[in-house]
Amino acid sequence: MARLVKSVLLILAFAFAPIIVKAATVTETFTFNATLDSGVLFCGPRVEQEAPCPDRFSTVDPSLLPYGMSFRESYAGSIALTYDDNRLTGILCHLNEQNCNFGGVENGFNSQSPTGPNPGNLDFTDTAQSRGSVFFINNGSGGYSYGTDYVESADGSEIYYYSNVNFSLSDVTYESSQPAPVPLPASLPLLAGAVLGFGTLRRWRKPA
C-alpha cells in the first residue's frame, strides 16, 4: 500500500509542478502614446519674480522631460516594472526617449506585487528632487502629469520651473512575463482513481 501511495503522489507532483513552481522574476510592460495637452514654463531672475514664458517652453535644460516637445504632438512611451518574488526591484520609464522615473524604487513608487493591466496611479515622483511624475492607466487609456520645483540655469542668471505639464495617454498595451496558470489535466483524476482501484483489488484478492 505504501508503494501505491508513493505512485499516486508522484503522479500528482508531476501534474501540479507547473502550477506550484512560478517564475521568480516577473516583468510588466506598458507601452503607450502620450499627447502633450498643456503646461506652463515659468522664468525669472529669482524666486517670486518669475512669470510665464511660453515662447521658451520645451527649450530650456535638456535634462527636463518636456525638452523638445510640442503641444498637440504625440510621443511614444513605455514603463517596465520588474519584480523578484513579488518585490519590486526595477523601474524603467521613458517618454520620447527621456527618463520619466525620478523616484526610483525606494523613494517613490514601490508596489509589492505586479499591478496588472489596470494599475490606476503609478507615481514616480522624487520628492528629494521636487520633480513630479504621475501616471494614471485604466482600460487602455489614461493621463500623465509632470512638474518641477525651481531649477537654476547653468550660469545662475535665472530660475525656471515647469508647472502642470499634462499628457493624455492612448493605445496603452500591457504585457507580463508571468506565466498563465496551467490547468489540471482532465484525465489526471481518472488516472489516480485507476491506480487506487488496482491497488484495492490487489489488496483484497485471495491467493490461489
Question: What is the average pLDDT across 51-79?
Answer: 95
pTM: 0.74
Nearest one of 125, 109, 122, 106 to 65, comparing CA atoms: 125
Q: Please give the single-letter amino acid code of residue 120.
A: G
Residues in contact with 197: Cβ distance below 8 Å, sequence separation at least 6, in sequence order: none
Tell me: the pLDDT tens digits for 6-55? 554 454 454 555 444 454 899 999 999 999 999 999 999 999 999 999 99
Q: Look at residue 201 and tell me whether its pLDDT is greater than 60.
A: no
Distance CA 17, CA 173 (A): 30
pLDDT value at position 113?
A: 79
In this structure, the number of other CB atoms found within 10 A of the CB of residue 191 comes to: 14
- Listed by start position, the domains of the chain span 2-22+186-204, 25-176
pLDDT value at position 181?
A: 56
CA distances (Å), origin 178, targets 17, 24, 27, 148: 15, 9, 7, 35
The three-class DSSP label of residue 195 is helix
Q: Is the dihedral of CA 116, 176, 102, 64 positive or negative?
A: negative
